[in-house]
Structure 1
Amino acid sequence: MSRKTITASSVFFCMTLSAQAHADFLSDGKATLGMRNFYFNNDNRDGMAAPSKTEEWAQGFMLDFKSSYTGGMVGFGVDGLGLLGVTLDSGQGRHVGSSMMPSDSDNRAVDEWSRLGLTGKVKMSETEFRYGTLIPKLPILVANDGRVLPQTFEGGQITSNEFKGLTLTGGRINQATGRGSSDQTGLAVAGGTRESNQFDFAGAD
């Protein structure tokens, strides 16, 4: 009876510590809400470019949650990114070829569009691995943030600062979501005609 009681108490104690650790990494997290109002006007009526005019107006909302890490030698966490774009004005004939917002089946601007990205992360000492939705800012890959909502990528990235004065970075990107889209696509350079689902990178800084 005594042994069973001790075992049950030990299990309950471990479960309590685990629940507390998970609660701490969420409660110690940080959430920020960003808002961006964006007006775009590209007038080509004096030139030969088509369409002759692109004019649109939209409001963007970006909710960014970053958790802390669980305790222990290896810490775990999760980040979340919620993106919402709302069309304020985009009249007929002014949306053609736009990179501002998605189009519906009639090639008109949608009323709203959204994305949700989750990123799991693991940290040990000064090395962190992230997998899921990424917004990289690297010498060879920078997410485009020049419209209402930012471009995002899906993949994994590891960053290590174990050595003083040296940062090691590596990873693999599989898909991307454009700044004016809710759909994931393959990867391609500007003007490219073929897509890839694997982009590997590594470097030292």
Structure 2
Amino acid sequence: MKKILFVAAVLFSTAAYSQSTVRFGIKAGGNVSFSKTDVQNLSVKGKSDFGFWGGGLMEVSPNNPNNKFKLQLEALYSNINSKYDGLSDSRAKDKINLQQINVPLLAKYFIIPSLSINAGPTFNFNIAGKEKISDTTGAYVFSQNLKGQLNTFQIGAAVGATYYICEGLFVDARYNPLFGQINKKENGDGGSKIRMSTISLGIGYKF
């Protein structure tokens, strides 16, 4: 996977020194999680919860700044939360927090000058996680660090659109599915398989 990221970096570095136009930017926003856990032959859907994300981007316009086709590389920090009823115990409520570094590599096509559709793979690094369990009254029971139970790397995807309000100011929305489970098969929460995806909305500025 490091080779994939290295190739992406070389491509964008080459573009930066060619006749292509390169722009940098920042962006931030919130996300809503969608999760499912398979445990003991049962499939439990998590309750959607809110998180946040933020980071930077580099956009490359091959040969011409007005090219309708562009490439965009991002580096984002994401905080994702999800909730479950009765995952660990019929009376318990579980809250899972996942922290990631996301590296989307997107192809962008501008339908009109102010609107683009975007799609591409994402390379995701699970850097931290925590599970907090409370009873039905909301009283604290215990929490555990999930870092040792997480898969370090996951492939995902991003599909969405970006609307430019004025000059470099934009808003974007995208769906981000993660492929496979976030936790290791041999260690994950009593043998459970946890899968997550998000819908994110944000605002940003390209310089």
TM-score by length of 1: 0.30
Which structure has the greater CA radius of gyration?
1
Larger RCO (CA under 8 A, 6+ residues apart)? 2
